[in-house]
Structure 1
Amino acid sequence: MVRDDAVFGCTGVLLIGTRGAAGPGEVLVRVRGGSEAFLAWSAEPLPARTTVLVIESRGNRQVDVMEWADPLDASPGDAD
């Protein structure tokens, strides 16, 4: 199993929600100047269309992800 270090720290969107320990979903990751699909594992279930951050590569086109909200994408009305 070869790690894919290029995906570490990349963001993506879940195409198929994850099920936590019960199984993976699928994520479309922005990497290498394009987008690539990977099996996505997370500690807690996450629904489809969730924006995620890749926190680890398992190799064999599998990654660990966590929910991610880019602080630079906050709209002006969000700051109080």
Structure 2
Amino acid sequence: MVEDDAVIGCTGELLIGTRGSAGPGEILVRVRGGSETFLAWSPEPLPTGATVLVVASRGCRAVDVIKWADPLEALGGHSAGAG
């Protein structure tokens, strides 16, 4: 099994929600100058449309993900350097 290290650390959106240990969903990730889809596994179920972070590659276009919240959104949506 060949891991895909390029996708680790990328964020993406779930096209199909995950079901935790019951099965994967599908994620769209911007990587390598384009967008690619992967099977997405997570410890707990996550809904369609959730933003997730890829934390590991399982190879064969499958990844492990966790729920992700953009830390900049917690600052009220202001971009860095804005006065």
Q: What is the CA–CA distance in structure 2 between the aligned matches of 1:12 and 1:24, rounded to whole Å?
A: 15
Residue segments in structure 2 that go unaligned for 5+ positions in a row: 78-83
Q: Could you say what secondary structure the match of 2:9 adopts?
A: coil
Query: Which amino acid counterpart does residue 29 of structure 2 have in structure 1?
Result: V
Query: Which amino acid counterpart does residue 4 of structure 1 have in structure 2?
Result: D
Aligned partner of 1:47 in structure 2 is: 47
Q: Could you say what secondary structure the match of 2:6 adopts?
A: helix
Greater per-residue helix proportion: 1
1:30 Cα deviation after fit: 1.1
Aligned partner of 2:29 in structure 1 is: 29
Aligned partner of 2:81 in structure 1 is: none
Q: What is the CA–CA distance in structure 1 between the aligned matches of 2:13 and 2:7, rounded to whole Å?
A: 13
TM-score, length of structure 1 as denominator length: 0.91
Q: Show the 5 A alignment for 1:1-80.
A: 1-74=1-74, 76=76
Report the count of equivalent residues.
77
Query: Which amino acid counterpart does residue 72 of structure 1 have in structure 2?
Result: L
Q: Could you say what secondary structure the match of 1:21 adopts?
A: helix
Larger radius of gyration: 2
Query: Which amino acid counterpart does residue 20 of structure 1 have in structure 2?
Result: G
- Where does structure 1 differ by over 6 angstroms across 4 or more consecutive aligned residues? none
